[in-house]
Amino acid sequence: KARIFSGVQPSGTPTIGNYIGAMRGFVQLQDEYDATYCVVNQHAITVPQEPKRLKEMTRELAALYLAIGIDPNKSTIFVQSDVPAHTQSAWLILCHTGLGELERMTQYKDKAQKQEAVNAGLLAYPALMVGDIILHDAAYVPVGDDQRQHIELTRNFVDRFNNRYGDVLVKPEGIYPKAGARVMSLQDPMSKMSKSDANERGFVSMLDTPNQITKKIKSAVTDSIGEINYDKEAQPAIANLIEIYANLSDKSTDDIVQAYAGKGYGPFKTDLAELVVSVLEPIQTRYEKLLSSSELDDILHDGAIKANEQANQVLARMNKAIGIGY
Ligand code: TYM
């Protein structure tokens, strides 16, 4: 089986954007691939975090991984800080990466703009992400559209490293969902849905109550056209809602447009809210149980053992190639 790897930052409760863009795919891909999923807590400290909350959110995200249906008998789940090879590889990668390459990353530029003081880790971030991916010999990486540039950077890094040192690393490819690779804010279809949005009505969190979900979807901005069409240019807000619907129902955007022809936005929003609630409710029930169980700790412990074994092998390959050691 080909190997896949992905991760999510425990920097807030994941939104339906994270679920649709990436996490739902984690579950679907675990049968076909040898999958490893990581809670990337060391990535989260590139911006300020409250220490107590960071620890809680790390465990919460691991519980959510299991609650959405990642099966620890099929996939490896672990927390980044349990596998020191990740940060160790980041140093090796930084020493083989141009400053200009990192400065070009749009995610860096966006996030830097929002910070009062920018730490060097925010710039170095993609090197740690490259490390995450290559240490697990990942051939594929399921992510949302906003990670495209980081995947490209990883591919370029692997080419450069292998050209210089021989065939040491696996070159990965991104996997993106058909609909919903870039879920937009419910309040502004021009900006990405984000778990750190100050306007809470812009996103649906995976732990929102049915009532909150329904309110947020019913108050999502639309347009004055009043007709359901899938047209990202002319009707970006409606196109966004159609993509959310398409992804969660496994229907095509065309089918949805046809089903709501001539019906207006009201009934469409009602059905969409029902769909989102029906997807999230069972996840939330499982999540509550897992969070207070020792099963979760056992799974993370086992995951760390497996992940360390795999990651240390690749780190050793890298060190040997570079000439680190004596
Ligand atoms: P993060 O934590 O910001 O997001 C986790 C995943 O969710 C996707 N995503 C979205 N997809 C669609 N619409 C949206 N509005 C949306 N917002 C977020 C992201 O694309 C991502 O797949 N750098 C990564 C974490 C990471 C990683 C890795 C991923 C660290 N190391 C190695 C893959 C492989 C990040 O910040 O994701």
The CATH code of the domain that includes 251 is: 1.10.240.10
- pLDDT recorded at residue 196: 84
- pLDDT recorded at residue 167: 97
User: Per the domain annotation, does 186 fall within a domain?
Assistant: no
The answer to whether residues 25 and 116 belong to one domain is: yes
User: Per the domain annotation, does 204 fall within a domain?
Assistant: yes
> For the whole model, what pTM was predicted?
0.97
The answer to whether residues 150 and 231 belong to one domain is: no
The answer to whether residues 159 and 36 belong to one domain is: yes
In the numeric block, which tokens belong to residue 165? 């040192």
The answer to whether residues 312 and 239 belong to one domain is: no
The model's pLDDT over 127-144, given as tens digits with 9 standing for 90+, comes to 999 999 999 999 999 999
> Which residues are bridge partners to 3 per DSSP?
34
Helix (H) or strand (E) holding 173: strand 173-175
- pLDDT recorded at residue 115: 87
User: Per the domain annotation, does 191 fall within a domain?
Assistant: no
In the numeric block, which tokens belong to residue 123? 């710039």
10 annotated as a binding-site residue: yes
**Residue showing tokens 């074994």:** 309
Pocket test for ligand 1, best of 3, 4, 5, 8 (most atoms within 8 A of CB): 8
- CA–chain centroid gap for 68, Å, is 13
> Which residues are bridge partners to 245 per DSSP?
none
- pLDDT recorded at residue 276: 98
Distance CA 72, CA 285 (A): 18
The CATH code of the domain that includes 35 is: 3.40.50.620
> Which residues are bridge partners to 121 per DSSP?
none
Helix axis angle for 236-249 and 265-291, nearest 10°, is: 50
User: Per the domain annotation, does 46 fall within a domain?
Assistant: yes
Structurally, the chain folds into a number of domains equal to 2
Sign (positive or negative) of CA dihedral 29, 32, 33, 38:
positive
Which stretches within 72-117 are classed as H helix? 85-94, 99-103, 106-114
The answer to whether residues 279 and 315 belong to one domain is: no
Range of the domain at 216: 200-287
- Distances 77 to 2, 226, 299, 313, 315 between C-alpha atoms, Å: 17, 45, 7, 18, 19
**Which stretches of the chain score pLDDT less than 70?**
none
The answer to whether 3 touches 33, Cβ cutoff 8 Å, is yes
Ligand 1 residue neighbourhood (C-beta within 6 Å): 5-9, 17-18, 20-22, 40, 43, 129, 132-133, 141, 143-144, 146-147, 150, 181-183, 192-193
The answer to whether residues 32 and 136 belong to one domain is: yes
User: Per the domain annotation, does 219 fall within a domain?
Assistant: yes
Sign (positive or negative) of CA dihedral 63, 66, 72, 75:
negative
Distance CA 4, CA 34 (A): 6
Residue 201 dihedral angles phi and psi, to the nearest 5°: -75, -10
User: Per the domain annotation, does 223 fall within a domain?
Assistant: yes
Residue 107 dihedral angles phi and psi, to the nearest 5°: -65, -40
Distance 147 CA to ligand 1 centre (A): 6
In the numeric block, which tokens belong to residue 204? 């649906």
User: Per the domain annotation, does 231 fall within a domain?
Assistant: yes
Nearest CA to ligand 1 atom 9: 18
194 annotated as a binding-site residue: yes
The answer to whether residues 161 and 270 belong to one domain is: no
Distance CA 115, CA 104 (A): 17
The answer to whether residues 72 and 26 belong to one domain is: yes
By 3-state DSSP, what share of the chain in percent is helix, strand and coil, each rounded to 5?
55, 10, 35
**Residue showing tokens 């899938």:** 230
Task: Provide the terminal-to-terminal Cα distance of the chain, rounded to the nearest Å.
Answer: 35
In the numeric block, which tokens belong to residue 279? 């997807």
The answer to whether residues 169 and 233 belong to one domain is: no
Distance 241 CA to ligand 1 centre (A): 20
User: Per the domain annotation, does 193 fall within a domain?
Assistant: no
Instruction: Catalogue the active-site residues.
Output: 111, 192, 195
Which stretches within 136-235 are classed as H helix? 148-165, 210-218
The answer to whether residues 138 and 208 belong to one domain is: no
The answer to whether residues 89 and 138 belong to one domain is: yes
The answer to whether residues 152 and 216 belong to one domain is: no
- Distances 322 to 96, 154, 243 between C-alpha atoms, Å: 10, 18, 45
